[in-house]
Amino acid sequence: MLRSRIIPCLLVHNKGLVKTVNFKNPKYVGDPINAVKIFNEKEVDELIVLDIDATVEKRKPNFQMIKNLATECRMPLCYGGGVTTPEDAKKIIKLGAEKVALSAAAIENPGLIKTIGKEVGVQSIVVVIDVKKKGIFGKYEVFTHNGKKSTGLNPVEFAKNIEKIGVGEIVINSIDQEGTMKGYDFKLFESIRKYISVPLTIMGGAGSSEHIKEALNKFGVIGAAAGSLFVFKGKYRAVLIQYVDKTLFFGKNKER
């Protein structure tokens, strides 16, 4: 039975855990392994780890880091960053991750989605669509390379296309809301959800349990991902690795 998932998203930069705002000004917030250990204790639903340097630097994933993370993880792990070949994906899955996330590579070579799906299973392929508003009319557009590279793609059309190709999950990330802790961009998410049937995760902007609850109440069974919410505490954004009380959303049986 499918149920909603509440998912911390960790960003890795220079081998450390960081948090950004609108994909800018990364702030160091700790060691990824230590964060994973804490999330294990909190019984986190799932974990997304994105190496934000790999694609920009045109390098392969850090397989040793992935192995260390997967060995420590007691929850499903999704890794993204630098994956450009089926061999990369197979190695990541063999190291213990459950899912592999693509972004720029899926745009530059959409056929890669199908090829990797044949190797590791469609359910293990995630495509992260980073979106921000562009122009005076605020038109949504897909960006890559940490929000620096415009693709000219409409996120709705791109999402429809990759679903046809065969993807296990789509993550919709709002660059405009990312790190602001002001709430999700529901308009963006809703514009895509009505055309897509594969599992969807919304990300970018969550700053409170109420934001999570609003997303679950509005959209039903989805993934609700966040970064700042799980690494910062209070209005001064003091670093504190934390999680939410899932009984607030699902009851004591944690089901939806």
Residues carrying an active site annotation: 130
Q: What is the DSSP string of 67-83?
A: HHHHHH-SS-EEEESS-
Rounded Cα–Cα distance for residues 103 and 99 (Å): 13
Angle between helical axes of 63-72 and 32-41 (0-180°, round to 10): 20
- Are 221 and 3 in contact by the 8 Å Cβ rule? The answer is yes
Rounded Cα–Cα distance for residues 161 and 235 (Å): 40
Rounded Cα–Cα distance for residues 140 and 132 (Å): 6
Tokens of 217: 């109440």
- Please give the sequence-ordered ranges of beta strands (E in DSSP) within the chain, or none if there are none: 5-13, 16-21, 24-30, 47-51, 77-80, 99-102, 125-134, 139-144, 149-150, 169-174, 200-203, 223-226, 232-233, 238-239
Tokens of 239: 């670093």
Rounded Cα–Cα distance for residues 223 and 202 (Å): 6
